[in-house]
Structure 1
Amino acid sequence: MPRFSLFILLFLLLTRPLVYGQENSGRKFTLSGYVRDSLSGESLIGASIVINGKGRGVVSNTYGYYSITLDAGRYELSCTYAGYESVRISFMLDRDLSNNFLLSPRGTTQEEVVVYAKRKDGNVTQAQMGKIDLAMSQVKSLPVLLGETDILKTLQLLPGVRNAGEGNAGFYVRGGGPDQNLIMLDDAVVYNTGHLFGFFSVFNSDAIKNVSLIKGGMPAQYGGRLSSVLDIAMKDGNMKQLEGEGGIGLIASRFSIQGPLQKDKASFIISARRTYIDALVKPFVPKSSSFYGSGYYFYDLNTKVNYKFSDRDRLYLSGYFGRDVFDFKNNQRSFSANIPWGNATATLRWNHVFHRKLFSNATLVFNNYNFAFNGEQNNLSFNLRSGIRDLTAKFDMDYYPAPAHKLKWGAQITHHTFKPNLFSGRSDSVDFTPNNASRKYAIESGVYLQHDWELGEKWQLNTGIRYSSFAQTGPFTDYTRDADGNKTDSTVYRRGSTVKYYGGLEPRFTMRYSINDESSFKASVSRNNQYIHLVSNAGSTLPTDLWVPSTLNVKPQLSWQYAAGYFRNFSNNKYETSVELYYKKMDNQIEYREGYTPGLTDPEEEFVFGEGWSYGSEFFVRKNTGRLTGWVGYTLSWTWRKFPDLNEGMKYPARYDRRHDLSVVSAYELNKKWKLSAVFVYGTGNATSLPERFYIVNGTLTQEYSRINKYRLPSYHRIDFAATYTPVAKKPSRITGSWVFSIYNVYSRLNPYFIYYDQTGSAYDGSLKVEARQVSLFPIIPSVTWNFRF
């Protein structure tokens, strides 16, 4: 009860200036509506609607809705969105009005739409720090590995974001682990983001409309993670006409189709992708091989339908289903294995406009991630399963009482089912199912309020408060053990009863001070709680990694992050620049104990706990317009971990600590047919542990390892290049196509993936030699992809 009272008190403090201002205001009216693509009817997220001459405005929300309340009078408004022609309207506001902005993509209009007011840009004007929106056109134009466009690999080129390893789609943000990123696809959490053991992401770019990364000072509407938010929105489907697109690459093909179910009222999109690695490799594996019949493939399916009941109500139903399947057969040893894993999500959302100032969204989400290992040898069969299943309900409200204020509040509740290790088997006619007590249940919930407040043209504050809670629930049995680990007693919790409860307040604060129209200073502080954890023995996100909840023995992760930055734009926002500094402290970090090997025990019995911290600076320069576009990002950072039970209690660099990280990204439009792009990346080598001493014990070579991550692998660098050729049709054609020629790792740099020690000779005759050898994955790799659209 005291916590709830504190939440109400903070609510009143945050909204008191707003209420006071409304009580003393004159006659006001509201202009509201949606911002949409004029060709497809797609809503545009984050479009800026600015009052010309006033320097104030609003931003369209996740569904393209905006609302602005002003004193009666005549106004001019400009609506801008990256990659689209700006639109200006002039109107007399003497009553409540509705207006939908229809923006045309650049290149589709015959005449340039001129906006006389100076364009405002969110890089300088918005208080939100560390937020980057990616245009899908830019993502698709960059060089890629094996012809597969990848959103997550593009994110790795941004400052403060580093990759999980050579060619891997996993990423780390400001010193946080891979589980500390909240990754959502249409409000559904995606727990495993990688195909092909992490080398490609699960996100099909043809189905994606918008990608937003927030790496610092996340708003109060987001919770459950420490480091970042990656919010990905799927396309809604073309409301105007039927259209399709796709591509044929070296290892995979994809196809999407979208169109109206009822013009301007209902639409759909279906997008599918499948690799054919198995079909390509099969002819080269002889039938006599012990591996004949083995194979690997992955596939994705994105679907979405939406229906507009009225100007006030709209319903969305979206889903994603993806699978990786690895089959292994060894005919000589009568051994076979089937290893499938993947995600399935479904999201149902209802938008309702209560009145022009109040927009609501109700959401139901189902999420299921599973990993399975099914093995068979002779008369023995066994399977191991792990995963996590969620059922989520949430409700959010956007309130626009005045042009200088926006309120957002909501609540969320999620029921988790965790399956860290479920084992069963059969030998001849005997079934065995050991005690699978590792299955756990939990309820996670949160309520929040955030207030965006402009205090004149100089100051803007984004304040927020979130209260989150997490309860491990029954059925569960807690065992008491003696010094040898033997069970001596137990406490049984019934279904639905509370085993352990955690909760806490998460304040969020960001501010912006405008120095002038082209530059501003920003600062933020945020506290985050994280109740679920990914525990891994590897340096990247693999399907064998385990998601585990906070329990009696596992406490939630906690963090405080502080950030400050200077933001400056040049040449009417043609160039964006920024410098950001950050410091992040993390408590209750989790690792496996030293010497741990996977078994059938509850994984949390093998955990050790410690702390982490990271700090650094990020430099970013981006050119937004012209024939040459791109960016340069550089990060100087330190990431540390300290565990009393690891490394003799001394601090050590995290495996994803990287001192220097540089990315140079460019795209050049040579002419109407050719567009060129290139990427250069450089990074300090990964921290690693290596053997320092070798001993011969009973004729066997034994290694003694260094302290954790004492050494560094050689530095990582490469150049990628791509050229996109789009033929200019001599006469109009319903089908258009383009060719993308890409070269990954142009100068064939053999970047280290890991190092192992090779042993030759014998210890008995003195000829034993031990040599360090480097394993590298990708030399120079050319690829070609044909993309089509109709």
Structure 2
Amino acid sequence: MKNSLLFFLLNLFSLALAQENITLNGYVYDIANGESIANADIDILDLNLSTQTNAYGFYSITLPAGEYEVFWRADGFNVESQVLNLNENLRQDIFLFSEDKIELADVVVEARLQNKVSESQMGLEKVKISTLNKLPVLLGERDVIKTIKFLPGMKSSGAGGSGLSVRGGSTDQNMITLDEAVVYNTDHLLGFFSTFNSDAIKDVSIYKGTAPAEYGGRVSSFVDLRMKEGNNKEFETSGGIGLIFSRLNIEGPIQKDKSSFLVSGRRSYADLFLKLTDDFKDNKLYFYDLNAKLNYKLSDKDQIFLSGYYGRDVLGMGDNFGINWGNLTQSLRYNRIWNNKLFSNTSFVYSDFDFVIDIKSTDPDFSIVSKIQDFNLKHEFEYYPNTRNKWKIGLTSTHHTNIPGGIEGLSQLTESKEPRKALESAAYVSNDWSLSDKIGINYGLRLSHFTNLKGGEYYEFNEEGDIARTITDTKEFDDYLNLEPRVSIKYQIDRNQSIKAAYTRNTQNLHLVSNSITSTPSDRWVMSSNIIKPQISDQVSLGYFRNLSASKYEFAIETYYKDMQNQIDFKDAANDRDLSIERQLRFGKGRAYGVEFLAKKNKGKLTGWLGYTWSKTEKQIDDVNENNWYNARQDRPHDLSVVAMYELNKKWNFSASFIYQTGNAVTYPTGKYSIEDQTVWLYSERNGYRMPDNHRLDIAATWTLKKTKKRTSELVFSLYNVYGRENAFSIFFEESESNPNALTATQVSLFKYVPSISYNFKF
């Protein structure tokens, strides 16, 4: 009887507690086009409670029953506030105006800008598309990847290139995704433009090594790009006409307020100018890409998205030589709200990257082909049990098919490789936990598993590095199972300042093999095998964050140390075109450490930021550089960027950017000798020299010709490399014509001065 009474009282008490807590949830949208808004803030100032929308614009917050004033706001939008009498669970969808339509409420603007201070996640950067559109860039083309490089800890892989080095990592150590699909090569025109059309991009998040548990598969960074969903209110057309390419974006409702579409394309036309000359009329040099997206609301709780990207570059020299490469991605996603605290997303994703080099100057003709293809299935739950906890639990599995390199067309060369196949899977859980008003923890655990499947050839080597036998049964070597813990801790000193610390372990099973400073489309992706082990990194970081003058100014300093295992480099005197790539590789360890500074002005006619990074990246590889530590190719100790944007009036906006970077570490020849009339080069220690330092000033002016609710048009004038700095793109050596015993160095520089004008429109 006593036990029954106790059970009854406990249930009654639990019911009473449940009745005291109310859950408010819903979506936040842009009222102009119906797009969901990620990372919007929801604040209940009376209780000092807040939350954010997820990547799909959904939010959920639990609070005691009562009457409260609730604020909704996002960067670039107005503040929406409502007084709600919460006595039962409530679904409340909110629509916000863009900031140029309405004045902002200062109190909530200030609360919004505190997020850099108040959020527990460390190493997270976000890029506003409105900022991207104002910066001066090469030939006037707005570029997400190049804008990212102005942030501390984010470096270009070389002058003009779009390769990205984050906190000492190589270009392959960054996972760049578009609507959750991996984009393996982000370059157009050999790196001078990226594959991402800014007209189609809605949101960009960058995690510098320290990321929540749902991100995995790379050891340096994760760049998460999300495409626009399409205007579900009215049809809209936008685009631009530039000197070497143009773009067009069309979006609109399929069924108003319920479904929409977006189609966005670009095409360069430098090849048309080549046809005007007799010397180059048969050459090819162009790129094109296409983004498309559909979405449909099945109900208030269910929504599906279908998106895709296709892009290709074509380069040819008459009928003798040609190279083309491209990416194809497709994403199908299904969102569901199960109840007021539980949200899920299921994604089926396809990624494909290939390059083909055609050699037609020989008899017979032949081609070099490389390819990587992924099928990925992911299912994730987001659970909001109370105001202090947000949980994510998920499973993901990817089937990889990889052809590292093969020759087609030459019967005497039987190096054409069968595809290698593998399955990479992970289970993860993470929690964003507010212990108190001052202490927040974002922690998680990821369990990753990689196994090679039957198909393709693998090798076993003897001590001299020669093939001892060919392995065709993948049971002969182990799978790779890794635990990847991560934790980020925030202590908020007061409303305007906080300190953070983080630790993260990441593993990587796909590796880009390159013997050049900058990434090229012919660099080869290879998977972990019995010889190539998964890369593992352990990163610790510490930071101090401060806002000043009601968040008008923002300051941050972060320091990090990253220990890396199973690092890859070419052996001395390697032949990097050997299709049995394992024969050319050696393995060891690496380390990267540095300090990042950021000072930013957020308000007023003049805005912008100053970022500076001091860093060091080194490797110690077996049988390379006499087993001594040496500079990694991407080691660039000093990196300075200054960005300024000035709004003169409603017609004119001006911007400028300045960069200064230490030159890349390189290996130069120090001498030569001859053997049987063949010249053999003698090289210095690995990466013992440096390219010249790289610095450049760019400026731009935007003249708004017309701006109404329905129509916008503008002219953008820009000058790339204002003072004509001849930055080194490459340096090559050859025998001196006057002295055969001497070497001469020749520097190749690109884009001394590049003025441009482009016309942008929207209607």
Displacement of 1:377 in angstroms is 3.4
Q: 2:149 aligns with which of 156, 159, 177?
A: 156
Greater Cα offset, 630-639 or 680-689? 680-689
The CA deviation at 1:433 is: 6.6
Identity percentage over the alignment?
Answer: 43
Distance 1:557-1:39 versus aligned 2 partners, 3 A rule: same
For residues 513 and 29 of structure 2, the distance between their equivalents in structure 1, rounded to whole angstroms, comes to 42
State the shift of 1:746 in Å: 0.2
Counterpart of 2:715 in 1: which secondary structure? strand
Query: Which residue of 1 is the match for residue 264 of structure 2?
Result: 271
Given the superposition, is the C-alpha separation of residues 326 and 452 from structure 1 closer, same or farther in structure 2, using an over 3 Å criterion? same
Shift of 1:482: 6.3
Aligned equivalents of 2:452 and 2:15: distance in 1? 44
Per-residue deviation, 1:27: 2.2
Of 702-711 and 751-760, deviating more is 751-760
State the partner residue of 2:720: 744
1:445 and 2:418 aligned: no
Q: Which residue of 2 is the match for residue 771 of structure 1? A: 744
Deviation at 1:274, TM superposition (A): 0.5
Distance in structure 1 (CA, Å) of the matches to 2:15 and 2:654: 53
- Matched with 1:506 is 484
The 3 A distance-change label for structure 1 pair 23 and 364 is farther
Q: How does 1:188-587 map to 2 (within 5 A)?
A: 188-284=181-277, 286=278, 289=279, 291-329=280-318, 336-377=320-361, 379-425=363-409, 434-437=414-417, 439-479=419-459, 490-493=470-473, 500-587=478-565
C-alpha deviations, 1:421-464, integer Å up to 9, x for none? 122215xxxx5671534521100000000011101101001110
CA distance in 2: counterparts of 1:485 and 1:168, whole angstroms: 34
SS in 2 for 1:53: helix
CA gap of 1:623–1:117, structure 2 versus 1, over 3 A, is closer
Partner of 1:505, secondary structure, is: strand
Among candidates 576, 590, 594, match of residue 572 of structure 2: 594
Q: What TM-score comes out, normalization by structure 2 length?
A: 0.95
Query: 1:4 is matched with which residue?
Result: none
- Amino acid paired to 2:111: R
CA deviations 1:720-773 (Å, max 9, x no partner) are 0000000246xx69543101100011000111222233544455xxx8654333
| CA distance 1:667–1:480, change in 2 (3 Å) | closer
Tell me whether 222-231 or 679-688 shows the greater mean CA deviation.
Answer: 679-688
| C-alpha distance in structure 2 between counterparts of 1:272 and 1:208, whole Å | 12
Q: In the aligned structure 1, how far is the partner of 2:659 from the partner of 2:457?
A: 50
TM-superposition CA deviations, 1:305-326 (whole Å, max 9, x none): 0000111000000000000111
Q: Quick one: distance in 2 between partners of 1:443 and 1:360?
A: 24
Report deviation, 1:693.
3.1
**Which residue of the partner structure matches residue 10 of structure 1?**
none
What is the SS of the residue equivalent to 1:377?
Answer: coil
Alignment partners' CA distance in 2, 1:487 and 1:630: 56
Could you say what secondary structure the match of 2:479 adopts? strand
Q: CA, structure 1 residues 531+480, in 2 after alignment: closer, same or farther (shift >3 Å)? A: closer
C-alpha distance in 2 between matches for 1:106 and 1:505: 44
Counterparts of 1:607 and 1:554, CA distance in 2: 9
Give CA-to-partner distance per residue, 1:377-417, whole Å, 9 cap, x none: 36412111101000000001110110111111100000000
Tell me the distance in 2 between the aligned counterparts of 1:254 and 1:762: 51
Match of 1:781 in 2: 754
**Alignment equivalent of 1:667, drawn from 645, 649, 663:** 645
The aligned residue for residue 719 of structure 1 is 697
Query: In the alignment, is the contact (CA less than 8 A) between 1:481 and 1:489 conserved in 2?
Result: yes
Q: Gapped runs of 5+ residues in structure 1? A: 1-19, 330-334
User: 2:274 touches 2:283 (CA, 8 Å); kept in 1?
Assistant: no
The alpha-carbon deviation at position 699 of structure 1 amounts to 6.7
- 1:88: which partner in 2? 81
Q: 1:758 to 1:381 in 2, by over 3 A?
A: closer
Q: Measure, in 2, the Cα distance between the counterparts of 1:733 and 1:221.
A: 40
Asked if the contact 2:466/2:583 (under 8 Å) is kept, the reply is no
Give, in whole Å, the separation in 1 of the partners of 2:464 and 2:313: 41
Superposed counterparts of 1:589-738, under 5 Å: 589-695=567-673, 702-728=680-706, 734-738=710-714
Q: Which residue of 1 aligns with 2:58?
A: 65
Q: Separation in 1 of the partners of 2:619 and 2:466?
A: 32
Maintained 8 Å contact 2:230/2:252: yes
How far apart in 2 are the matches of 1:104 and 1:596? 58
TM-score scaled by structure 1? Answer: 0.91
SS at match of 1:119: helix
CA contact (8 A) 1:519 1:566 kept: yes
Q: Is the Cα–Cα contact under 8 Å of residues 420 and 438 in structure 1 kept in the other structure?
A: no
Q: Report the equivalent of 1:754.
A: 730
Contact 1:215 1:228 in 2 (8 A): yes
Pair 1:119 & 2:111 matched = yes
Corresponding position of 1:13: none
Contact 1:53 1:117 in 2 (8 A): no
| Cα deviations by residue, 1:247-273 (Å, 9 ceiling, x for unpaired) | 011111000000100000000000000
Count of residue pairs the alignment pairs up: 750
Q: CA separation of 1:682/1:711 partners in 2, compared to 1, >3 Å: closer, same or farther?
A: same
Letter in 1 for 2:201: I
1:33 is aligned to: 26
Name which of 69, 72, 76 aligns with 1:79.
Answer: 72
Secondary structure, aligned partner of 1:327: strand
**Cα gap change, 1:43/1:779 in structure 2, threshold over 3 Å: closer, same or farther?**
same
Contact 1:474-1:499 within 8 A present in 2 as well: no
Q: Secondary structure at the match of 1:726?
A: strand
TM-aligned CA deviation for residue 374 of structure 1? 2.1
Q: 1:201 to 1:347 in 2, by over 3 A?
A: same
Paired AA for residue 558 in structure 1: I
Q: Deviations over 1:55-108 (max 9, x none)?
A: 221110010000011111111222221111122221111001111121111111
Once the two structures are superposed, what CA deviation does each residue of 1:276-316 show, in whole Å capped at 9, x if it has no partner?
Answer: 010022102x1xx4x54111110010000000011100000
**2:47 match: secondary structure:** coil
Q: Distance in 1 between matches of 2:755 and 2:134?
A: 15
Once the 2 structures are TM-superposed, how far is the Cα of residue 337 of structure 1 from its aligned partner? 2.6
Q: Is the 8 A contact 1:665 1:679 kept in 2?
A: yes
